[in-house]
Structure 1
Amino acid sequence: MDLRETGWELHARSGRAVLVHDAGREIDPARLRLPGTLVVALHEWAHVAEAVQTEATADADAKLVSRRGRQLAMRLAAETGGQICYVDPLSGELDRIGRPRSAHAMPNRRGGPIAPVPPTPWGPGLAVSAITGTIVTVTLVVVTAGLADVSVILAGVVNLAVVAGFAPSIWLGRNVPVWRWVAYGTAAGIVAAWLALILGLLG
């Protein structure tokens, strides 16, 4: 589902978070381009909201659920780059969260525009990944080949240390719009270097 085509309202229904677009159709947040942690947090919030609705709970609990929902709506607004209509599951009140980036954004069902998400830059992104992967591959192969002349074990330890050092950056950068291409290239470069080294040993 393309976020550029429609606006969104955040609801909690039957213990699940749903996003309703301008045609009134319900969509699971997991089907959109959203971080996994945000999707999990949305469904946890909806589950708690249902429990608060069905049980006799204190006003403080209800306020906490409402506040948490608004926080998640703010995160959704940041992810979509526009406005999210948050429907409080307890009071039914509707709040507009975020600010549209453009006056030409697509209108949602209640009139608030949602800024379009720019298309994925596959061409430049893959070029960056290819350059990064080539640099990482060549560097690892050259360094490992030099160390292998001294000690094969030392070369293996250094390679493992390099992989362990890159792993957190690759994992954190995989969802960042620009740095994800560098992360992809780094991961591909490490795999290519290891394959080249293994083939070199077998040959």
Structure 2
Amino acid sequence: MRPVAGWELHARSGRAVLVRGTEREIDPARLRLPDALVAALHEWAHVAQEVGERGSADTAAELVTRRGRQLAARLAAETGGRIGYVDPVSGELDHVGRSRSAHAVQLRGAPLAPVPPTPWGPGLVVSAIIGAIVVVTLVVVTLGLADVSGVLATVVNLAVAAGFAPSIWLGSRIPVWRWVAYGTAAGIVAAWIALLLSLLG
């Protein structure tokens, strides 16, 4: 776990690197950053190297500087800390973002930073409401179809479960939508149990 304070963004040999004091260089790809941001950082460093080698016009150098500051600001926003930006054209150091002592940039594979507490109360209420809606809907529809054909009712139940499965799987990974996904999954299971009990009774 490495603190944000003191890190500087450099463009070296066509690659974007983070350096702090006399420590070794760290590739941004090793940090918990979006892949698009890492790719943009390396692309900027590559262009900065070409501009430096060719001695391009002031306009190109200004674009490299401006793009570097934008990326440093995005990096500071992602990490929630202050990043030093070393201009590859002038060599000047500029600080971007705000200092944050309580948090840290972390390497891939390291434990995640402190996460806000899980809202169990509101989340379970949402899951219960969604589950109740799913149970009532499936039971009513299935019992109505069962009067026509038991096979049709079974097929419809399986089709509903198969149709919801991808959404439940994807939704369970999203903080807000996971409660809806949990409620839907629980509702389908509860509806099947209720229908089996009604058949036995």
Q: Same fold (TM over 0.5)?
A: yes
Shift of 1:86: 0.1
Shift of 1:188: 5.7
**Which residue number in structure 2 is paired with residue 26 of structure 1?**
25
**Which residue number in structure 2 is paired with residue 12 of structure 1?**
11
**Which residue number in structure 1 is paired with residue 49 of structure 2?**
50
Q: Is the 8 A contact 1:132 1:189 kept in 2?
A: no
Deviations 1:10-59 (A, max 9, x none): 01122221111344221121222222322222122112222222234322
Q: Percent identity between the aligned chains? A: 48
Cα gap change, 1:158/1:9 in structure 2, threshold over 3 Å: closer, same or farther?
same
**Which residue number in structure 2 is paired with residue 112 of structure 1?**
none
Gapped regions of structure 1 (runs ≥ 5): 106-114, 175-179
Aligned residues: 176
- Higher Cα Rg, which structure: 2
Deviations 1:136-184 (A, max 9, x none): 55654554444444566776479848966x96xx59xx7xxxxx53245
- Which one of the candidate residues 116, 120, 127 is aligned to 2:115? 120
CA distance, structure 2, for counterparts of residue 137 and residue 36 of structure 1:
36
Cα gap change, 1:61/1:134 in structure 2, threshold over 3 Å: closer, same or farther?
same
CA distance, structure 1, for counterparts of residue 85 and residue 95 of structure 2:
6
> How does the TM-score come out when normalised to structure 1?
0.62
CA distance, structure 2, for counterparts of residue 130 and residue 2 of structure 1:
33
CA distance, structure 2, for counterparts of residue 68 and residue 35 of structure 1:
17
> How does the TM-score come out when normalised to structure 2?
0.63
Q: Is the 8 A contact 2:138 2:188 kept in 1?
A: no
Cα gap change, 1:184/1:161 in structure 2, threshold over 3 Å: closer, same or farther?
closer
- Which one of the candidate residues 171, 178, 182 is aligned to 2:176? 182
Counterpart of 2:115, as a letter, is T
Cα RMSD for the two superposed structures? 4.1
